[in-house]
Structure 1
Amino acid sequence: MYGPRATYTVTRILRYLKVTPGKRLIFSKYGHTNVEGYTDADWAGSATDRRSTSGYLMFVRGNLVTWRSKKQKVVSRSSAEAEYRGMAHGVSELLWLRRLLKDLGCGPNKPMDLYCDNTAAIAIAHNPVQHDRTKHVEVDRNFIKEKLDAEIVSFPFIRSEYQLADVLTKAVSTSIFLNSLDKLGMRDVFAPT
């Protein structure tokens, strides 16, 4: 990404960093061993090629440990497809975390929740029947269904206003952004206590 758009983006990032010098990701002890994630996608969000952007946030024991936002490689034909591809990326990250935690001797002992705000994508994950409208995502569908059937992951629905991954995939209001930062564990170390 070069040109005026890149300059604008870099300028916005630098401006944000300048006004938030004390922001840090703080890890706390929450008293549970849950591994969970939030996944979201914007459908056809790119104005130039109409590709969607997927994003996920992963929490271990209530603390944010990994996050990613990435443009999808193909154009999605529906919002459900875009969300479903995002779910596949989220499941892959959860599996990596599960393997890492098992190697450390503290793997999860229950299915890991991957929160999604798209009921159609969740329905596709649970539906064992292949439909013509989902054939183009068949590989992702089989991958997700296999992990769902093995009870490694579960896909609880979350309302859009509680979807933390929105900050990675679309523009949100200042109040939602600041509220999300708090929920992600971002604290200002210079703020009075």
Structure 2
Amino acid sequence: MKKIIVLLLLFVGILNVSAQKYATKTGSLKFEASVDSFEEVAAENKNTSAVLETSTGEIAVLTLMKGFRFKVALMEEHFNENYVESDKFPKATFKGKIEDFDVSKLSATAKTVKISGDLTLHGKTKNITATAKILKSGDKITVTGNFDVKAADFAIEIPKLVSKKVSDKIKVSFNLPLTKL
């Protein structure tokens, strides 16, 4: 009986070692909705959290909407109050999977991958696919990439008065430096 318990504990310990999680609280998420000949409409959030489960390739990302910083304070205020309604919808989340993920094949040379999953923003969820680069250096995995979204897909209304100054296609980029938990 003791041998069975010891073997069971050893097996559970091996499973826990092979199921590694990597995480960050200092990821960067940027977006740009600028239109030529008008003022830049762009912001960055440097406090984005993410978790990667290396045994499955599942990835989850969370960012607080009030964490986005603009060059112009008034833009930040309009973004939070009028567009994304940060008090009502305080966060954006992504839950997805890196396709064909195999942590043992990662190296310091970036590998191009596809990440698919559900992006929830402004109370709406939409399936997206992003092209990303992933690399591993020491105990750190870095995931960088980008994708495009439309404000209308998330019921974010752009007033007619500024509709010519803000692109309906928003370019989103991310940089997630993940470390082993």
TM-score (structure 2 length as normaliser): 0.29
Higher RCO (CA 8 Å, separation ≥ 6 residues): 1
Bigger strand share: 2
Structure with higher helix content: 1
Larger Rg, first or second structure (1 or 2): 2
